[in-house]
Each structure stands twice: as C-alpha cells, then as structure tokens.
Amino acid sequence: MTGLNVSMKMLRAACSAGALLAGSATLTAASAADLPSTKAPLPVLVPMVDDYEPFFVKLGVTYVINTSSSTTYGPLGARVVQGDVGTYPQHVGATLSNIVTLGGEAGYFVTRNISVNVSGGIPFFVKVNTKGFNPLNPTLVDGTLLGQGELGLIPVTLVYHFNQFGAIQPYLGAGFAPSFSFANKNAFLTDIKIGGSVGLVLQAGADYMIDRNWGVGFDVKKFFTYAETQASGVALLPGVPTESVLHTRFQPWLLSLGLTYRFGASALAAPVVAKY
C-alpha cells in the first residue's frame, strides 16, 4: 500500500512538472508574439527634376571687330577733270570701324543637344575709311571717310551643345548669315548703295547655368561673306556723274557676353522619381 502511495505521488509530481513546462512554453510563445517586429527600411526614392527647357533667349553686349578688307575701284581724279568719267581701278584700300551694340539670340532645342539659333542686334552706322595711300588718287589720303552704312546681320545656325559637364555647357555651331544695310550716309562718296549678301558663319561659346532657367553665357561668331558698295558721285565733284565700286571681304568677329533664359517645359511635367 505504501508503495502504491509513493507511485501515485510520483505520477502527480510528473504531471505537475509537465503542466508547468507546457505553461512556460505557452507564456514564452505569447511573450514573443507580443514583442514588436523589426523590418528592413524601404529604400529612399530621391526625386530628380528634369531640367529640359526647349526654348531659350539671350541678351547682352556684343563687340563687333571688323577684320574686313576692301578695295576701292573708281575714277582717276586727273582723268575726271579732263572729262573722262569712266571707271578705272584705283586699288585704294579701305577698312570698316568696330562697334559695340546690344545683341540678342533666340533658339529652340530640336533635341537635348541640338538647337536652331537666330541672332541679331541693334544696328549702328559703320564707318568706311581708306587705308594707306595710292598715288593714282592723292585726294584719298589715309583715313578718308568714304561713307557710312547701318549694317545688319542675321545669323542662323545649327548648334551642338555638350551638356555632360553639369552647369558648364559649351557648344559649337555653323550656319549662314544674310547681311544688308538699313541706311547709308554720304561722305567722300555720294549716293551710296550697299548691296546685300549671304555668307558662312561659325559659332562657339559656353553657357553657365545657375539653375534650370537662368544662366550667363559667352559667345563668339566669325563671318565670311562678300559685299559690294556702289556710289554714283563724289563730294568734291558735285553734279559730276562718277561710278565707284567698293569690294569688301566682310569677315568680322562678334564677341557677346550676356544672360541666358531657358523656358517652355510642359506645365504637366512632374519630377521624375529615380529608381536607383
């Protein structure tokens, strides 16, 4: 009987220990379930703003350096006195004066790298003076003012922009440039008419973009064209019909410095979220 009691006590002790272990495991599982779970943070997506603006305008100061060379053909003074007013080559050289003006340029980006540009400026009168001395016509001493022309140039160029350097964006271009005169002023020659022409123009420069819209830029253009000026009189011989022709290899440099403004992005365009 005593042995039976001992066995029963041992069985009850074992059951109690099992229940305690089971309760402990349940409590541990419940506690673990109550603890907050930690997850890996999501990658941060940085918004990247597309700075593509298809239109632009530039406004600034332009310095025109006239490296042109001219040759005057016309009547010899001694023969005019004798009544011979035919045309004779004098080969008197002439130069065009430099000017400073307000220049502008507008363009449209056909692609992100290629633009079509049209330039212009406020026309000023350019002086045409003789250069050197020719004994065939001693009247035309060095520096004699032959006349003045209010010249205009409208360069149209196709330009490639290198935009892989960040804010600094250099470019190269080429195109054509019509040239003409708005008005003329007489001097040694009278009844002046400056003919129009179309020539080659090369372009280079760089823009420094402060933000997506505003920047500053430096631009250089070189022109290669030919112009012909005719005059039907000489101031020293009023009323005497004489024909003079000025052949000019018009090759000025245009140096421009000014502000750049880009615009025209779609109002519906939203920032693009980078995926990497």
Tell how strand 145-153 and strand 156-161 pair up: unpaired
Residue 80 domain-assigned (yes or no):
no
Q: Which pLDDT does position 54 carry in this prediction? A: 95
Residue 24 domain-assigned (yes or no):
no
Give pLDDT tens digits for 141-179.
Answer: 888 898 999 999 999 999 999 999 999 999 999 999 999
pLDDT at 138 over 90: no
Whether 96 and 248 have beta carbons less than 8 Å apart is answered as: yes
Q: What is the mean pLDDT of the chain?
A: 79
State the amino acid at position 64 in one-letter form.
Answer: V
Percent of the chain with pLDDT over 90: 45
What are the residues whose beta carbons fall under 8 Å from the beta carbon of 158, sequence distance 6 or more? 114, 115, 116, 117, 173, 174, 175
Q: How far is CA 117 from CA 174, 203, 250, in A?
A: 10, 10, 21
pTM of the model: 0.72
Q: Which pLDDT does position 92 carry in this prediction? A: 74
Query: What is the number of domains present in the chain?
Result: 1
For residue 151, give the CATH number of its domain.
2.40.160.20
Residue 60 domain-assigned (yes or no):
yes
Identify the H or E element spanning 254. strand 253-263
Whether 187 and 143 have beta carbons less than 8 Å apart is answered as: no
Distance CA 72, CA 58 (A): 38
Domain of residue 55: give its range. Answer: 49-70+86-185+197-226+250-263
Q: What share of the chain is helix, strand, coil (3-state, %, to 5)?
A: 15, 55, 35
Length of the chain: 276
Residue 78 domain-assigned (yes or no):
no
Q: Which pLDDT does position 93 carry in this prediction? A: 79
Q: Which pLDDT does position 50 carry in this prediction? A: 58
Q: Which pLDDT does position 21 carry in this prediction? A: 47
Residue 55 domain-assigned (yes or no):
yes
Q: Return the higher-pLDDT residue of 2 and 253.
A: 253
pLDDT at 210 over 90: yes
How many other β-carbons are positioned within 10 Å of the β-carbon of residue 178?
14
Q: Return the higher-pLDDT residue of 268 and 120.
A: 120
Residue 26 domain-assigned (yes or no):
no
pLDDT at 132 over 80: no
Q: Which pLDDT does position 37 carry in this prediction? A: 57
pLDDT at 180 over 80: yes
State the amino acid at position 218 in one-letter form.
Answer: F
Assign 110 a pLDDT band (cuts: 50, 70, 90): very high
Least confident of 139-148, 223-232, 266-275: 266-275
Distance CA 190, CA 192 (A): 5
Concatenating the DSSP letter of every residue in 73-93 gives EE--HHHHHTT----EEEEEE
Q: Which pLDDT does position 83 carry in this prediction? A: 53
Residue 180 domain-assigned (yes or no):
yes
Give pLDDT tens digits for 231-249.
Answer: 888 887 777 777 788 888 8
Give pLDDT tens digits for 12-67.
Answer: 655 555 554 455 545 454 454 555 555 666 665 555 555 689 999 999 999 999 88
Q: Which pLDDT does position 107 carry in this prediction? A: 97
Residue 16 domain-assigned (yes or no):
no
